[in-house]
Structure 1
């Protein structure tokens, strides 16, 4: 057999084997669970007494408190409810945390693992404590750097130590520990498509009422119907009113009784499916605060369960969506182009010197 034919058969065989490997399902058994000791044996039963989660860092302390059996709140955010899955994930992670490998016990080396004193300026460590209703610790742990692994099917790991010990451990498990309160709460308020907004009535302090409404046509857009006579309006600005409740989020939160600033006015939005939304806006300097309420059926009840009793700091750009003035909706005239001026790289041409008179002819 010729050498070229042998090489061709070899390539074909290799391709066939590769295809079989790709098409064969992966029946490899998953890695066995860790046999390492739990960091907190019996913690699951004791967590029934948990009343406070405390995350202490060098630059501040985060507190999450239990307000009801299934409700946890943030005192730093006026007692606003936290996302229950965040608390559940952290507490379950603590019950499943396992100490897999002892590391250094030298206190001078702890900073390399992010396990130095959490109150030390510039420290990257966190002191995590779960306390009962009397303030007694249910558990306590200094949490350091996470260990990044790129292999598949490998559990997460993190460096930890007990607060009264210098022995560091590599622990296996997930601890979603965040000291930023904004990461514990759901900042999404609503996401209602613009096509559902049928009309908006704006009552702004010191301004005449402004009413916008869609026409009966399927593709009709919001248009100003009061006042009847208006200047030429900007379609993008009108569309922003319709999009007022799309991807609506908040920056900060207070109780409704603590809403700061002066009242700007209110707006009433009529939507499809028997839903009415009301907005009251206040302004403190450049900061915009709003209170929301809904009227209607089950959808309104769900929204009110979230909104009632709270004042939200909104993005400044939402002022023109919720409480526009007629001047905010007016089409802006394009500025005339500025006259061109010679730049430094193109100097103005110099004035030409007058030509010299021609010489007189020589005498014959």
Structure 2
């Protein structure tokens, strides 16, 4: 989203404040402030109506859209957000308590980070939770956190309702980043390596390659096709075995938008009837992979629902784990040999050309 779009989003948020239904402490409305009062009493009961969360900070914006039980990131093409992070944000908002009234001077708001988030250099974040009709359930400008060094003391943060000049010191933990990258669920899969039983690799321009374990549960992964292969490197085989162990993404895109040349396809057969088909593609030093899951188990269906329609950027080193060549699985010669350690690696001594006469002996001193 460009800067103009961010400013328009922020401006639209401020413009709608007059008609928004916001929860406010009853005692405050009566002109009496009781320290420790919930900032939004009754909010927990209304969060079931929440359909949109907006976070705006100068130069950044994140919009989370509810899709059933999943929250999706608008700025990441609708990819799933980290569920536990969304829960932490909403729980923090419901538990936030006002403990002390602070400045109402607009000129001093920047010092505690509750000025207008659209201002140049502002560190404030505008948080809005809206229902399906676009009505605000709760909205708040979040400012600087106040560090507490004492033990068992709750976190504190400066806040301000966008429609008011009055600011507050509030107790509670608020995690409200406006950077979409911080909301992406980066976990792809976490499958124990010993569950992998067979790997069938069909890389373009290469002969078929098959790895498998013997019947024992803890048997090592070995090359079975081709049969006449050289001795394999155990570390390289283990890397294939760990291909989906704690696998995380660098970036995510719609599958149709992933760049690069297709490298082929690899089938990873796991226990419990789970098969994963990886289709990597590479653009220079960038690796993308599209994934499919096959099987009748809930695990397979869950993976397929999560991966369908997406491509994941991974570290380039994952290419040898996801779609290796036979040569990638063999012991590698050292890139550079040190002549001091390996005398055979030292360059041969220079020899004089055959047609060149040997140098004359020096003349004796008089």
Counterpart check, 1:288 vs 2:250: no
Q: Is the contact made by 1:77 and 1:252 (CA closer than 8 Å) also made in structure 2?
A: no
C-alpha RMSD of the superposition: 2.6
Q: Tell me: CA distance 1:166–1:282, structure 2 relative to 1, closer, same or farther (3 Å).
A: same
Once residues 72 and 285 of structure 1 are traced to their aligned partners in structure 2, the CA distance between those partners, rounded to angstroms, is 33
1:140-160, Cα deviation, whole Å (9 max, x unpaired): 211011112132332221101
The answer on whether the counterparts of 2:61 and 2:180 sit within 8 Å (CA) in structure 1 is no
SS in structure 1 opposite 2:157?
A: strand
Would you say the 8 A contact 2:249–2:312 is kept in 1? yes
Map residues 100-119 of structure 1 onto 2, 5 A cutoff. 100-119=99-118
Check if 1:96 corresponds to 2:84.
no
- Identify if the C-alpha distance between structure 1 residues 42 and 219 changes in structure 2 by more than 3 Å, giving closer, same or farther: closer
SS at match of 2:91: helix
Which residue in 2 is equivalent to 1:314? 314
* Distance apart, 1:101 and its partner CA: 0.7
- Say if 1:113 and 1:159, in contact at 8 Å, map to a contact too: yes
Q: How far 1:186 sits from its partner (Å)?
A: 2.6
Counterparts of 1:56-205 in structure 2, within 5 Å, are: 56-68=56-68, 70-205=69-204
| Matched length | 311
Q: SS at the partner of 2:220?
A: coil
Q: Label 1:109 to 1:275 Cα distance change in 2 as closer, same or farther (>3 A).
A: same
Quick one: distance in 2 between partners of 1:213 and 1:85?
Answer: 37
Q: Compared with structure 1, are the counterparts of its residues 275 and 137 closer, same or farther at alpha carbon in structure 2 (3 Å cutoff)?
A: closer
Gaps of 5+ in 2: 1-33, 342-361
Aligned to 1:336: 337
Quote the offset at 1:185 in angstroms: 3.5
How far is the alpha carbon of 1:73 from its aligned partner?
0.9
Find the counterpart in structure 1 of residue 246 from structure 2.
247
Partner of 1:348: none
- Report the CA distance between 1:127 and its aligned residue: 1.0
C-alpha distance in 2 between matches for 1:168 and 1:312: 43
User: Paired residue for 1:362?
Assistant: none
Partner residue of 1:298?
298
Q: CA deviation at 1:241?
A: 0.8
What SS is found at the alignment partner of 2:51? strand
Task: Give the drift of 1:46.
Answer: 4.3
Residue 318 of structure 1 aligns to a residue in which SS? helix
Match of 1:13 in 2: none
Q: How does 1:349-360 map to 2 (within 5 A)?
A: none
Aligned to 1:312, what secondary structure does the other structure show?
strand
Q: TM-score, normalised by structure 2?
A: 0.76
Aligned equivalents of 1:274, 1:127: Cα separation in 2: 47
